[in-house]
Amino acid sequence: MMDFLDRQHSVARLGYSRWMVPPAALAVHLCIGQVYAFSVFNKPMSQLIGITAPAPGDWSIPALGWIFSLAIVVLGLSAAFGGAWVERVGPRRAMFTAALLFGGGLVIASAGVALHQLWLVYLGYGVVGGCGLGIGYISPVSTLIKWFPDRPGLATGCAIMGFGGGALIGAPLAVSLMKHYSSAASTGVAPTMLTMGIIYLCFMMIGPAIVRVPARGWMPAGYVPPTSADEAKKMVTIHNVTADAAIKTRQFWLLWWVLCLNVTAGIGVLGQASLMIQEMFPLRFPHDTPVAVAASAAAAGGFVGLLSIFNMIGRISWASSSDYLGRKNTYAIFFSLGAVLYALVPWTGKTHNLALFIIFYLIILSMYGGGFATIPAYLKDIFGSIQVGAIHGRLLTAWAAAGVFGPVLVNYIRQFQLDRGVPKADAYSVTMYIMAVLLAIGFLCNFAMTPLHERHHAKLSEVEALA
């Protein structure tokens, strides 16, 4: 009945432009990127009974924080376990499924909010929506790489830029809808989630509607595939490796650490950026009167918004530059420049140099986004394109690990420093130095990357079966 979703019915006909594929991918990623803006629901969801302030029986903020964490963990797991399925069924069915799961997850979560059943919100947004996140995240990667063998970084950067941009849409959309639906008796969260579920379900369907896979053997005009000479010189393979074989290689685990360390360094700071800038620059963000507190929080919110924009810009700019710089060189820049900037951040606080603090963090966050967006092309260079989506899915477990490790590192070290009597303005110094060390370790992991030994290469019969 749903045959039109199959890979064989998705092959591009004459006249189809490959430039239709990035918007198809963006339609999915712009929606699932909403997960980064989920925190806008936290405060109103903690006041569902009290409406204007938390009341007995209302959900606590830590309990609500688990919704986001659960969604990210399930994203990693579903990408890891669903990657091979996505490769088999093709992008159309995968995007269609992701839309149903993510949109449906929001609808289930809205029912959980309406019935005041937190487990239903966990199940809806965290588990069902999280599966939609994982499947949706990897669904266009392999197809983009096959359409753009000449510019894989640009192509995957386009899609993954959408995931960064999703928060920029999701936050104001949720705020506007909650304002529209709220009343003296309701915070408006349940109808907002229901509306967003329907909007995202419809918008994500643009993906399966316009995405196509290239016909077998298709190549863009003028494209010269890499030769065995390029393989050694530029570390771009002409062979293919299956997902099962890839995870048994040293290179896969080096890249796992490359992604994990790059994400750990960025994600912890992203979550604490608002608090950090206020505590490191108390003169610029005063807290002496209620008006000053509100103004400082608004200005710090502006800083977080600026970070989100650079996170998004970094995804497309670094990933597309990596097509010229090479993936290994691009990550070498991320890790070396990132380590230096992190080590210098405490100095900006001590010298009250807010402008440099902001510039340093914008560069750091651009490289955080760039790390996400460049990794699919790096995988394609090392393992070939035949199962790059499935390999990418398995590598995303590094994101799930970093999603737990990064914030814990920043929060606990800050608290440890404060408990020892360190002033708030200096409480982040140790964390910054630890981040610099983590990035230095990432530099070494990236430096150790070498082309794969030929024993890992898939046999021609395996490639034929998977193509």
Q: Choose the stretch contacting other proteins; rule: CB under 8 A; options: 1-9, 190-198, 207-215, 317-325.
A: 207-215
What span, in angstroms and rounded, lies between the C-alpha atoms of 386 and 406?
A: 32
Burial of 299 (0-12, 13-18, 19+ CB in 10 A): middle
| Closer residue to other proteins, CB minimum distance, 83 or 164 | 164
CB of 53 to other proteins, least distance (A): 24
CB of 190 to other proteins, least distance (A): 23
Match 């989630």 to its residue by tokens. 193
What span, in angstroms and rounded, lies between the C-alpha atoms of 273 and 264?
A: 14
Number of residues that bind other proteins (CB under 8 A): 45
Residue 305 interacts with other proteins (CB under 8 A)? yes
Among 299, 325, 332, 434, binds other proteins (CB under 8 A): 299
Residue 133 interacts with other proteins (CB under 8 A)? no
Q: Of 160, 27, 165, which Cα lies nearest the Cα of 96? A: 27
What span, in angstroms and rounded, lies between the C-alpha atoms of 321 and 154?
A: 8
CB of 287 to other proteins, least distance (A): 16
- x/- binding map, residues 319-358, to other proteins, per CB under 8 A? ---------------------------------------x
CB of 391 to other proteins, least distance (A): 26
Read out DSSP for 80-112? HHHHHHHHHH-HHHHHHHHHHHHHHHHHHHHHH
Degrees, nearest 5: CA angle 291-277-165 = 100
| Closer residue to other proteins, CB minimum distance, 51 or 309 | 309
Residue 172 interacts with other proteins (CB under 8 A)? yes
Residue 302 interacts with other proteins (CB under 8 A)? yes
What part of residues 18-57 is at the interface with other proteins (CB under 8 A)? 18-20, 22-24, 26-27, 30
Buried/exposed code over 115-129 (b: 16+ C-beta within 10 A; e: otherwise): eeebebbbbbbbbbb
Show the tokens assigned to 65: 């924080």
| Closer residue to other proteins, CB minimum distance, 20 or 408 | 20
Residue 298 interacts with other proteins (CB under 8 A)? yes
Show the tokens assigned to 110: 């809205």
Catalog residues that contact other proteins under the rule CB under 8 A.
12, 14-20, 22-24, 26-27, 30, 162, 165, 167-172, 203, 206, 210, 214-221, 295, 298-303, 305-306, 308-309, 358
